[in-house]
Amino acid sequence: MESRSAEAKTDGWRRGWLFSAAGAACWWAALPPQDFAPLAWLVGLFWTWASLQEEARRLPLRKLWLVGFVFWCVTLHWLRFPHPATGLGGLVLAAYLACYFPAIFWFTRQLTQWGLPLVLTLSTVFTALEYARAHVLTGFTMANLCHTQYRWTELIQISDLAGGYLVTWLLVFVGSSVGYATWQRLREKSGWWLAAALMAVALTLGYGGRVGDKRLSQQAEKIALIQGSMDSRFDITDWQAQANTILRQHMDLSLQASREHGPLAAIVWPESMFPYPQANLAEDVGTVEQGGWEQPFPLDELRRQIEYQRDYARQMAETLDTEWIFNATRYVYDVSGEEIRYNTVFHVDRSGEIQGHYDKMHLVMFGEYVPGGTWFPAVYSLPGMPLSGGLSSGEQPAVLRIGKAAAAVNICFESILPHLVRRQLRELQAAGESPNLILNVTNDGWFRGSSALDLHFVCSVFRAVEFGRSVLIAANTGFSGEISPYGKIVSRAKRYAPDIVIATPELSTRQTLYLQYGDLFAGLCLLVTLLAVPRALIQRRRDASGI
């Protein structure tokens, strides 16, 4: 008898584990570039079946962690390309992200034992932990479940109500409703959940059809988005030759854009594609001792270099004969001689005079800084460390004005964090700037044309819907493109190849509910989820006391 019970328990664990793995496989297959989007609706179904296994309710969490680890290793495989250190970092990141898989089942189990319906609990917990992932350890939202539906424009319009988190909730709710109803074979009033799921999808598509059909009358003048295709590497031996190649490719593409599509309001280059830094030196600086020099750097020589690099940028702008937006490292030397470095987007006019700039506010850990590096600079000298020094974070957002367009700028992976983009837009609106366009410049040349390009681009589709703004992207190796305020991909450049996108984006200052109220929905999901913690503590105390 005990043998049969143990065997049934093992079978329950095995089935539950296989169902959880099937859900993870559907999630991965639905993400771009695989793009089998309908499979995303099965994630909630399989994970509901896993949760309904009698013995699966006590599934070993380490096995669920293993499912998550494999999922994230496959999804983030492209982190191995930039450097061996980033490959190791990718494994660490996958190990951390994998913790959310057992966490979903644990929180769901606790709340359902409290009497809450499994269908609502699973969708709420899944959404809550997706929201938590966006904030913990600087935040990571690539490969969210909602991103699988980026081509279904009518469906994702609800993102302007509560962000992409609402789309994730819907996907899991519908899948879980079907899973629960089929498991119960439509007994015990489970059919009501099917009806609720159908009603939720109908309301979503009705809202999406009504909102997504609108078109805006105001458009910006033509903006050229230049996509070079240069692999980025840490092990460059001939820096000058590489810089010349990058400049020649981007200048040729820019002149072609002007010749074939001019006149242009502006030309936008991707991140890091202008290799010469721009610097500011305090007038009364006495000496400069930073930047890796063992002896104080001669100020006359530093001033000469700064002026040379600034003149080079002026000459480039004059050659292009249009407004030019480019990215470069910005050095600031204060009166004490300390060197501060920023990742900066510059906007210059036809004569090369700087009209505005934006310093990146949210830096990439281990890509632009090492934790603790500010207090212990020696960490950048450790063997195998790809970075020679860390960057500093910008303090405020910026608008770059290009004709009728007022573009709020973000750099690289800043576009994957909806709460960061929202904060920037809100701060700019409070300052009277009223941005009507979002501009992202990025260098995805580290990832060799892999799925990183797709996962990054899709994030901007959701930023467009969430904030009711067109999004323009200039990306090294791809994907550069234009996305409408309703998430439609108007144009997208080739993958891993030089290309030009000529954008005439719709301009909008629409005040979406998500822009106004932010992550209220996702925050409520998290609050409900965290109720599982006191419930578990109370139950543990009761078990210990024998009550």
Question: pLDDT of 241-264, one tens digit each?
Answer: 899 999 999 999 999 999 999 899
Residue 529, pLDDT > 90, answer yes
pLDDT by residue (tens digit) across 352-408?
999 999 999 999 876 677 666 566 566 656 665 555 567 889 999 999 999 999 999
Q: What is the mean pLDDT of residues 100-112?
A: 93
Pairwise CA distance, residues 125 & 203, whole Å:
22
Q: What is the mean pLDDT of residues 45-51?
A: 94
Q: Is 423 helix (H, G, I), strand (E, B) or coil?
A: helix
Q: Which residue has the higher pLDDT, 403 or 59?
A: 403
Q: Which residue has the higher pLDDT, 459 or 341?
A: 459
Tally of CB atoms within 10 A around 420: 19
CATH of the domain at 300: 3.60.110.10
- Which position has the token pair 């005990």? 2
Pairwise CA distance, residues 77 & 472, whole Å:
27
Residue 115 has what pLDDT?
Answer: 85
Same structural domain, 141 and 236: no
HSE toward the beta carbon, residue 257, CA cutoff 13 A: 29
Same structural domain, 356 and 458: yes
Same structural domain, 249 and 347: yes
Number of separate domains in the chain: 2
Give 295's pLDDT tier (boundaries 50, 70, 90): very low
Structure tokens at 29: 């297959």
Q: Which of 466, 363, 482, 471 is nearest to 412 (CA)?
A: 363
Considering the domain boundaries, does residue 375 fall inside one? yes
Considering the domain boundaries, does residue 514 fall inside one? no
pLDDT by residue (tens digit) across 161-192?
999 999 999 999 999 999 999 988 766 677 88
Considering the domain boundaries, does residue 79 fall inside one? yes
Considering the domain boundaries, does residue 274 fall inside one? yes
Q: Output phi, psi for 367, to 5 deg.
A: -100, -35
Pairwise CA distance, residues 414 & 127, whole Å:
21
Give 296's pLDDT tier (boundaries 50, 70, 90): low
Considering the domain boundaries, does residue 512 fall inside one? no
Same structural domain, 200 and 342: no
Query: What is the span of the domain harbouring residue 537?
Result: 2-214+520-545
With contact defined as beta carbons under 8 Å apart, do 104 and 476 qualify?
no
Q: Which residue has the higher pLDDT, 483 or 293?
A: 483
Residue 99 has what pLDDT?
Answer: 96
Considering the domain boundaries, does residue 59 fall inside one? yes
Residue 113 has what pLDDT?
Answer: 86
73-82, 87-96, 184-193, 524-533, range with the lowest pLDDT: 184-193
- Which position has the token pair 């988005």? 225
Same structural domain, 264 and 389: yes
| Candidate ranges 78-92, 303-317, 417-431; pick with highest mean pLDDT | 417-431
Residue 153 has what pLDDT?
Answer: 96
With contact defined as beta carbons under 8 Å apart, do 426 and 434 qualify?
no
Average pLDDT score over the chain: 88
Tally of CB atoms within 10 A around 413: 24
pLDDT by residue (tens digit) across 277-291?
888 776 666 556 544
Pairwise CA distance, residues 500 & 474, whole Å:
9
Looking at residue 490, the DSSP 8-state letter turns out to be E
Residue 375 has what pLDDT?
Answer: 60
Q: Is 16 helix (H, G, I), strand (E, B) or coil?
A: helix
With contact defined as beta carbons under 8 Å apart, do 329 and 280 qualify?
no
Same structural domain, 65 and 41: yes
pLDDT by residue (tens digit) across 308-337?
888 888 999 999 999 999 999 998 887 666
Same structural domain, 28 and 66: yes
Residue 181 has what pLDDT?
Answer: 92
Name residue 326's beta-bridge partners.
346
Same structural domain, 109 and 234: no
Residue 56, pLDDT > 60, answer no
Residue 211 has what pLDDT?
Answer: 75
With contact defined as beta carbons under 8 Å apart, do 475 and 439 qualify?
no
Pairwise CA distance, residues 545 & 542, whole Å:
5
Same structural domain, 430 and 357: yes
Residue 4 has what pLDDT?
Answer: 45
- pLDDT above 90 covers a percentage of the chain that reads 66
Structure tokens at 506: 């719709």
Same structural domain, 207 and 241: no
Residue 489, pLDDT > 50, answer yes
pTM value surpassing 0.85: yes
With contact defined as beta carbons under 8 Å apart, do 115 and 88 qualify?
no
Tally of CB atoms within 10 A around 235: 6
Name residue 117's beta-bridge partners.
none
Alpha helices in 407-531 (DSSP H): 418-430, 452-467, 513-517, 520-530
Structure tokens at 353: 């005079």
Name residue 354's beta-bridge partners.
348
32-36, 86-90, 142-146, 199-203, range with the lowest pLDDT: 86-90
Considering the domain boundaries, does residue 515 fall inside one? no
Tally of CB atoms within 10 A around 33: 11
Q: Which residue has the higher pLDDT, 526 or 89?
A: 526
According to DSSP, the β-strands at 266-268 and 323-333 are parallel
Pairwise CA distance, residues 356 & 449, whole Å:
31
Same structural domain, 279 and 353: yes
- pLDDT above 70 covers a percentage of the chain that reads 86
3-state helix, strand, coil in the chain (%, to 5): 50, 15, 35
Residue 95 has what pLDDT?
Answer: 97
Considering the domain boundaries, does residue 362 fall inside one? yes
Residue 336 has what pLDDT?
Answer: 66
Task: Kindly state the greatest CA–CA separation across the chain.
Answer: 89
Structure tokens at 125: 């917990």
Same structural domain, 191 and 230: no
Contacts 24+ apart (CB under 8 A), 286-289: 286/335, 286/336, 286/337, 287/337, 288/333, 288/337, 288/339, 289/337
Q: Is 99 helix (H, G, I), strand (E, B) or coil?
A: coil
Looking at residue 472, the DSSP 8-state letter turns out to be E
With contact defined as beta carbons under 8 Å apart, do 348 and 432 qualify?
no
Alpha helices in 470-519 (DSSP H): 513-517
Residue 384, Cβ density class (10 Å: 0-12 exposed, 13-18 middle, ≥19 buried): exposed
CA-angle at 481, arms to 346 and 510, nearest 5°: 80
Amino acid at the residue 165: Y
Could you please report the per-residue DSSP string of 125-182? Answer: HHHHHHHHHTTGGG---TT-GGGGGTT-TTGGGGHHHH-HHHHHHHHHHHHHHHHHHH
Residue 385 has what pLDDT?
Answer: 59
Residue 286 has what pLDDT?
Answer: 58
Residue 387 has what pLDDT?
Answer: 59
